[in-house]
Amino acid sequence: MFNTYLKLSSEYRWMLFAAFIFNLGFYMLIPFLAGYLKQDLLLSATLVGLVLGVRSFCQQGLFLVGGLLADLFGVKKLIVVGCLLRALGFCLFLFSHIVELLFLAAFLTGFAGALFTPAAQSYFSKQTELSRAQMFALVGVARNGGELLGPVCGLMLISVSFDTLCIVSALPFALFALIFTVLLNDKSTTKHQETAQPNADSTGVRAMIQGVLSNRPFILFSLIMSGYFMLINQISFAIPLHIVSQSGTTKEVAWVLTLCALISICFQFPVTRLCERWLSPSQWISIGIALMGLSFATLLVDWPYQSGILYYLPLSLLATVFTLGTMVSFPFIMSQISLLAQDKSVATHYGFFYLFAGAGLIIGSSVVGAAFDYTAHHDYLAWYSLIIIGVGTALLNTMFMSAHQVNNHIQTTNPSTSK
CATH number at residue 170: 1.20.1250.20
Q: Are residues 138 and 84 in the same domain?
A: yes
Confidence label for 82 from pLDDT (cuts 50, 70 and 90): very high
My answer on whether 253 and 175 are in the same domain is no
Res. 375: pLDDT tops 80:
no
pTM: 0.80
Average of pLDDT values for 109-115?
A: 91
Q: What band does 393 get if pLDDT is binned at 50, 70 and 90?
A: very high
Question: Mean of the pLDDT values across residues 172-176?
Answer: 92
Torsion region of 247: left, alpha or beta (phi above 0 gives left; psi -120 to 50 gives alpha): left
| Domain interval for residue 25 | 1-194
Residue 417 belongs to some domain of the structure: no
Of 156, 171, 194, the position where a domain reaches its end is 194
Assign 304 to helix, strand or coil: coil
pLDDT of 201 over the 60 cut:
no
Contact 264, 136 (CB under 8 A): no
Asked if residue 57 lies in contact with residue 49, where contact means CB atoms within 8 angstroms, the answer is: no
Residue that wins the pLDDT comparison between 294 and 354 = 294
74 with 187, same domain? Answer: yes
Residue finishing a domain among 194, 218, 234? 194
Q: Are residues 51 and 169 in the same domain?
A: yes
The DSSP-derived string for 200-259 is: SSHHHHHHHHHHHHT-HHHHHHHHHHHHHHHHHTTTTTHHHHHHHHTT--HHHHHHHHHH
235-244, 264-273, 340-349: which range is least confident on average?
235-244
Answer yes or no: do 190 and 219 share one domain.
no
Give me the pLDDT at residue 30, please. Answer: 85
